[in-house]
A and B are shown apart, each in its own frame.
Chain A
């Protein structure tokens, strides 16, 4: 069954903790009584988690690239050597 745009936005607002107490109570009641809605909420919650993982992975790739550029920067040679010396036992 296709989810209505209103429900998509409602679930977004729930995930962003933007529902009023009255709205939240109605939302929780519907979770119990409406199985299709409950499945949609679970899937949309999972989407947020997956998108967060995607975001962290992109951030890591970006930061690693910056780090590598600085590591190879000739102007930071002495800093690099000082740090590498910390790990020579």
Chain B
């Protein structure tokens, strides 16, 4: 199976974008090919484990998101095998309370599952507040830190005319959200995660 690369991106605003990796867009067309190839395999595993169709959908989608995250940072030699392995880990995490375990091969055992996956994101009051009050800045920072976009793609998506203006706006957004975090944490213990 093909090896995938995705562009890595400098995170600090004063760090030049120097990635030499070829860019692969993790978009709907890639999702479609992985859906056709891997979703039936994941669904079959979850079915044999006594899970539901809804659980199979959730786990497959979360495994794809973990894969996208990983592919942003490094190459993944065998995406299908990686996604199936992550799906097994996700199922085991979900099913642990019910003592339903899966056997993992050596490769699958070597995979690392992030502490936080998409179906378990923060629901803190601070997070919900930022989703409403700072959504534009959260979108920009999200694209900057985690979406694997080039500066050119970032500028096009957010309407910046130059690399410099993108960097300045990112800096302003970071300061804005950080100020909110400081204020809320000082005034409301409930906002703490």
Is A63 a contact partner of B31 (Cβ separation < 8 A)? yes
Binds A, one of B77-85, B92-100, B140-148, B152-160: B140-148
Is A50 a contact partner of B126 (Cβ separation < 8 A)? yes
Q: Which of A46, A53, A86 has the most CB of B within 10 A?
A: A53
Which residues of chain B are within 8 angstroms of A8 by Cβ–Cβ distance? Answer: 171, 174-175
Is A86 a contact partner of B147 (Cβ separation < 8 A)? no
Is B61 a contact partner of A50 (Cβ separation < 8 A)? no
Q: In chain A, residues 46-67, which have Cβ atoms closer than 8 Å to a Cβ of chain B?
A: 46-60, 63-64, 66-67
Is B61 a contact partner of A60 (Cβ separation < 8 A)? yes
Q: For the complex, is B182 an interface residue (Cβ under 8 Å from A)?
A: yes
Is A83 a contact partner of B39 (Cβ separation < 8 A)? yes
Q: Which of A12, A40, A48, A64 has the most CB of B within 10 A?
A: A12
A18 to chain B, nearest CB (A): 6
A53 to B134, CA, bound (A): 14
A63 to B31, CA, bound (A): 8
Which residues of chain A are within 8 angstroms of B181 by Cβ–Cβ distance? Answer: 43, 46-47, 50
A21 to chain B, nearest CB (A): 18
Q: For the complex, is B131 an interface residue (Cβ under 8 Å from A)?
A: yes
Binds A, one of B17-25, B101-109, B111-119: B111-119
Is A12 a contact partner of B43 (Cβ separation < 8 A)? no
Q: For the complex, is A72 an interface residue (Cβ under 8 Å from B)?
A: no
B165 to chain A, nearest CB (A): 16
Which residues of chain B are within 8 angstroms of A76 by Cβ–Cβ distance? Answer: 36
Is A66 a contact partner of B53 (Cβ separation < 8 A)? no
Is A63 a contact partner of B32 (Cβ separation < 8 A)? no
Residue of B nearest to A71 (CB): B57
Evaluate whether A59 and B68 lie within 8 angstroms (CB atoms) in the complex, with A66-B32, A67-B57 already known. Answer: yes
Q: Which of A18, A49, A63, A84 has the most CB of B within 10 A?
A: A63
B51 to chain A, nearest CB (A): 8
Is A44 a contact partner of B145 (Cβ separation < 8 A)? no
Closest 6 CB pairs of A and B: A86-B47, A60-B118, A55-B142, A55-B146, A53-B122, A53-B121
Residues of A in contact with B (beta carbons under 8 Å apart):
3, 5, 8-9, 12-13, 15-16, 18, 39-40, 43-44, 46-60, 63-64, 66-67, 69-70, 76, 79, 82-84, 86-87
Please name 14 further chain A to chain B contacts, defined as beta carbons within 8 Å, in addition to the given A50-B193, A51-B142, A63-B118, sorted by A numbering: A9-B14, A15-B11, A43-B182, A44-B174, A46-B185, A46-B193, A47-B141, A52-B116, A53-B127, A54-B142, A55-B147, A58-B142, A60-B119, A60-B121
